[in-house]
Structure formats: structure tokens, C-alpha cells
Amino acid sequence: MSGEFRGAGTGPKTVLRGMMLLALGRREGIECFRATPDAFLAALAPGIALNLVSLVISLMQPGRGVALTRVALSFCALLGPPVVSHIMARFWKREVQWLRYATAAAWCEWVTVLVTVIALLVAALIMPSLAHQPAFGKALMVTTELYGVWLGWFVARVGLGIGAGKALLLYALTVLFVVGCYALASVVPPHHAYIMDLFKPVMFGKS
């Protein structure tokens, strides 16, 4: 069934189609992503652009040390997972499939953001009183985080052609890498609790 997508277009519509299919658990969505360095760099480009904007803003603010470290950690969270997944792909002899997987995984990182925004807009239109409740914000963020875990696992499984256990291990290793970076930054001067930044989405709306 995946063959029908081979040779499809390579523009934004094809990428969005692939994101939608993977988000719905359709494994043929992986075929919408090209396995080329240019496609991979294009997938990283939005995250890199946002981090560069944050870098410029940080340089213009007082107390820029903490802000600059946050930007550096954000770069680690963006670029670390592809490095970890490449190491594991080589170990599992799946290096041929890695570039397509890494491209799809980078684009699918935005799916949870889109899901959150859409859910907030729908709630604001249908039940505006509920949308402003802290409990709703917490429940929404926890739900989207759990969905993000499933999506990351699913993309790894179909993208690299590995089993469920290996896909879960890969996802866990990428998360541990990011958490480790934040934890390390938290214990060195100026001892700012950077690791708490990772839990802010879950604590959304906490009073």
C-alpha cells in the first residue's frame, strides 16, 4: 500500500500529508518524506530559525547568561535526538532507513504543537469557560505529551522498520539525552533549575 506514495510530490503539501497520515497511525505516511540531506535540513529549519530568533532576543536582554543557556539547551533538544537515533540506526543496521526517518521525526515534532493549538481554539469557541480553567490546561498538556510519546514511538517503528521494543528504547534514549543535558546545566553555575523548563508544559495553568 505504501507504494502508491512513492514518486509523489516533494513540496509542503506532501510533507503535511505525511505528517497527517503518521499522526493518524497510517504507516504509509513515511513515504511522503524524502531520504535526502536537503529534506532533513528543511525539516530542521523551522526549529533552527526559532532558536536563532531566541538567541538574538537573549543577547538584547540583561542577565543574558541564563537565557543563552536556555537557547543552547533548546539546540541540544533539537539536534540531539537525530544524533542519538543515527547511532542506534547504525547499531541496528538500519542506517539506510535513517535519513527518511529523521526527516519525518523532525517534522512530526510539530504535530503535538498543532494538536494543542487546535484543541485550545476549539475549546475556546465551544466552551470558553472550560478553556480558561487551569485543570483543563493541565489535562490538555498531559494528553498531548502522551500522544507525542506514542507518535515518536510510531514514527521510529515505521521509519526504521524496527520492532515495538526497539522503537520504545530509541524514544527513551532520546528523551534521556535531552533530560541529561538539562540536568547537567542545572547543577553547574549559576545553578539555575533549567530542568524545570521541561516540565512547564505539564504544569501549564498551575496556580
pLDDT score of 177: 96
Q: Which amino acid is at 72?
A: A
pTM equals 0.85
Q: Which three cell numbers stand for residue 203?
A: 504544569
In three-state form (DSSP H/G/I as H, E/B as E, the rest C), the secondary structure along 14-29 is: HHHHHHHHHHCCCHHH
Residue 149's φ and ψ, nearest 5 degrees, are: -65, -45
Instruction: Categorize the per-residue pLDDT at 200 as very low, low, confident or very high, splitting at 50, 70 and 90.
Output: low
Q: What is the C-alpha separation between 22 and 152, in angstroms, rounded?
A: 10
Mean pLDDT, the chain, as a whole number? Answer: 87
Instruction: Categorize the per-residue pLDDT at 4 as very low, low, confident or very high, splitting at 50, 70 and 90.
Output: very low
Report the interhelical angle of 164-187 vs 134-160 (nearest 10°). 120
- Helices and strands: H and E segment counts in the chain: 8, 0
Q: What is the C-alpha separation between 104 and 39, in angstroms, rounded?
A: 9
Q: What is the C-alpha separation between 83 and 61, in angstroms, rounded?
A: 31
pLDDT score of 142: 87
pLDDT score of 10: 62
Beta strands in 22-141 (DSSP E): none
Residues 160-180, mean pLDDT to the nearest whole number: 96
Instruction: Categorize the per-residue pLDDT at 68 as very low, low, confident or very high, splitting at 50, 70 and 90.
Output: confident
Of the chain, the percentage scoring pLDDT greater than 70 comes to: 90
Per-domain boundaries in the chain: 2-199
Q: What is the C-alpha separation between 170 and 104, in angstroms, rounded?
A: 15
Residue 98's φ and ψ, nearest 5 degrees, are: -65, -45
- Choose between 36 and 59: higher pLDDT: 36
pLDDT score of 126: 84
